[in-house]
Amino acid sequence: MKKAYTSKLKHLFKVVLMGICLFLFNSGCGLDVYYVVEAPSYSIHTPYYDSEFSNCFFSFRTNENNNNTEVKKFLGTAVYYKIYKSKSKMDSEVGSITNLINSTDNKANAAPRLTSTYNFKPLRAEKLSGAVLIEHNDSSDQTVWIRLTDYIGSDGLVVPGYEAEVRINDISYGKPIRDEDGLNFNFASYRKDEKSAVPKEGDSDVQENPTSTDSDDDNRWYVPLFAVGLSLNDDYTNTSSVPLYLGCVTIKDNEEDN
């Protein structure tokens, strides 16, 4: 009788031990969980630093339906920007980011390089206050249109169709706003609006030591944009997608032709 009891006790001990091992394996010894967020779908219109005013806008499609799963909640798409005084400095940093985007093994480092190393800031809009610029849409991908500056006509008024504006699925959400005291991108010395201040050293969204020895950079500021998908995971961490480069525009602080 004692022998049978001892045998049962040993069996029970093995079962408990196996359960503990399985628990430890699944919680700490198993494979790591990787959360993947798909990048925004594609760019529709990509401006360049020397584009004429009519082409100085950005447009792209978000990636909604591929980004919600049981283990992560897709928050939406953020747009990041930085203001440069030196075109060569911009070319160097943007080139570093796009090289990572186009690489085979280092794509995951592109978003941290964008926000942490080079300090790109999230773009805002007058009528949007969410954690990301373009919040997730359950039904379909979204079309985004962004123009950073107003184009002023000879009569001193904004030319219709060339307003500074963020549009999502053809709905206007007002002017794009810098991540710097609610300032906008109409920075020109002749403007009277206090929100249209010319960038300066010390602004958090401006290139460090904003100077240039190139005379071509006089009265010019260069603003590149990237779009990044963001998720909230079931372990309460965030994951960023590989950034999508949206292009760059030049803003002249002494002219209305922007």
Q: What is the pLDDT of residue 257?
A: 65
Per-residue pLDDT tens for 176-187?
999 988 999 998
Q: What would the mean pLDDT of 96-120 be, rounded to a whole number? A: 95
Mean pLDDT value across the chain: 85
Mean per-residue pLDDT, 78-98: 96
Q: What is the mean pLDDT of residues 229-235?
A: 86
pLDDT at 213 over 60: yes
Global confidence as pTM: 0.85
Asked if the model's pLDDT at residue 10 lies above 70, the reply is no
pLDDT at 194: 82
User: What are the DSSP calls for the chain, one per residue?
Assistant: -HHHHHHHHHHHHHHHHHHHHHHHIIIIISPPP----PPP-EEEE---TT--GGG--EEEE---TTS-BTTEEEEEEEEEE-BBS-HHHHHHHHHHHHHHHT-SS-GGGHHHIIIIIS--EE-EETTB-SSSSEE--SSS--EEEEE-SPPB-TTSSBPTT---EEEETTEE--SEE-SSTT-BS---TT---GGGPPP-TT-TTB-SS---S-GGGTTEEEEEEEEEEEEEETTS-EEEPPPEEEEEEEEETT-S--
Q: What is the pLDDT of residue 30?
A: 47
Which tens digit of pLDDT belongs to each residue from 43-58? 999 999 988 989 999 9
What pLDDT does 247 receive? 98
- Model confidence at 214: pLDDT above 60: yes
Q: pLDDT at position 69, please?
A: 65
pLDDT digits (tens, 9 = 90+) for 119-159: 999 999 999 988 799 999 888 999 999 999 998 888 888 88
Domain spans, the chain? 1-31, 42-252
Q: What is the mean pLDDT of residues 12-28?
A: 45
Q: What is the pLDDT of residue 245?
A: 98
Is pLDDT at 190 greater than 80 in this prediction? no
Q: What pLDDT was estimated at residue 117?
A: 96
pLDDT at 158: 87
